[in-house]
A = this chain, B = another copy of it.
Amino acid sequence: MEAAIVREKLDQAPAILAEHGIDVWLTLVRETLLTRDPSLDLVAGTYCAWQSAFLVSRSGERVAIVGRHDATSVEDLDAYDEVVPYDESIRPGLRGTIERLAPESIALNYSTSDPAADGLTHGLWLVLREALEGTPYVDRVASSAPVVNSLRGRKSASELARIRAAVDETEAILALVGAELRPGLEETEIAALFDAEVSRRGLGYAWEPSHCPAVNAGPDKDIGHSAPSELTTQRGQLLHCDFGVEKDGYCSDLQRVWYLLDDGESEPPLDIRTAWEAVWAAVDSGAAALRPGALGHEVDAAARARLVSAGFPEPKYALGHQLGRSAHDGGTILGPRWDRYGSSPLGTVEEGNVFTLEYGAPVPGRGYVGLEEDVLVTSDGIEWLSTPQRDLWLVG
């Protein structure tokens, strides 16, 4: 199955290289138990002990140069025209292959902005420069960020099926946990309900298990990446969870909110409803702007302006990030042009991208209204992959 996805991604690659004017894309890795270039999953997905090079050309040629003990795994992918095994040094095979392909431009996996396109370590960058020393190719390198953004971002059919399956599992778990909620539960107890289902279903976590799910009961929690604590659910307060699973290598990422009705209440109070509607209005503004050709920061700006004009604090984070093999899948983000995002908000939305849409607002004395949905960019807009939580979930 993994080999099938690698072949799908490699089949996508030549057209994307042509679009971005790149002749050869080179992924160079080593000891992938210690450092793992995220692009390795696109071009091979196997473990590599020794220095290993995976080259894909604009004309469709695919060559892997790998240590002898790693060669069988790569051959088994049935994805490479040529697998060149070596014993002592990768240099002759690597240099010879590049000289034969004679590219005008070689894309390497480095980027100041996009972590998904920044898997080449600085040490391997130096190794490569030395291997190509004295050839014209040492000066023909460029960042692979545009290539990786398109290749990783345009989900193939199998990838989409896996993301959908991960979202479905997540929604099923959220429903089961929701049925158990009552006042007086500790955040850690609620996290344990999630954990039991993840384990029973044989799933992985979409991010660090200590913070997945994030469980935030009431107003006294510092929202962000802090772990479930001893805070408890209370009547008249909100419970907010941020949760995602990894299933067959692909992730989901959803936020859901419950309100614990106070004595005599049959619906949430006005302060919570106002925040809920403002957050949804902002997310819907972003969703309406999300289509192929839009720039990341434009989509965020539509949502951001709406929330701020409703009198809520400006979120300190982006409206959305891509989702795939990783919960934070890199490439174009739907975010403001802040330095920490580099050029990622300047990227263009493409058909086949999967994004989260997430925004939130604190409600003083109540807790945090935080929404997060997963959507697919279609030819003219979006498809919701998750079932949007249009109403607060009530705990009686």
* Chain A residues within CB distance 8 Å of chain B: 30-31, 33-38, 46-47, 49-51, 67-73, 76, 86-91, 108, 110-127, 130, 143, 207-208, 211, 222, 224-227, 316-317, 326-330, 338-340
Partner of A35, one of B70, B119, B317: B119
- Report the bound CA distance from A151 to B90 in whole Å: 29
What is the CA–CA distance of A125 and B122 in the complex, to the nearest angstrom? 7
> How many chain copies?
2
B118 touches A119 (CB 8 A): no
Bound together, the chains give a CA A183 to CA B199 distance in angstroms of 35
Q: Which residues of B contact A68 (CB under 8 A)?
A: 224, 316
Q: Output the nearest chain B residue to A117 by Cβ-Cβ distance.
A: B123
Residues of B within 8 A of A73 (CB): 211, 225-227
- Among A37, A108, A328, A340, the most chain B Cβ lie within 10 Å of the Cβ of A340
B339 in contact with A116 (CB, 8 Å): no
Q: How many angstroms between the C-alpha atoms of A340 and B122 in the bound complex?
A: 17
Shortest CB–CB separation between residue A96 and chain B, in angstroms?
A: 15
Interface SS, A side: loop
Q: Which 3 pairs between the two chains have the least Cβ-Cβ distance? A: A69-B224, A89-B339, A118-B123
In the complex, besides A33-B326, A88-B340, A125-B125, 14 extra interface pairs with C-beta distance below 8 angstroms are A30-B115, A33-B207, A35-B36, A35-B37, A35-B118, A51-B340, A68-B224, A69-B224, A73-B225, A87-B316, A108-B122, A111-B123, A112-B126, A117-B123
Contact of A118 among B38, B90, B122 (CB under 8 A): B122
Closest chain B CB from A236 CB (angstroms): 26
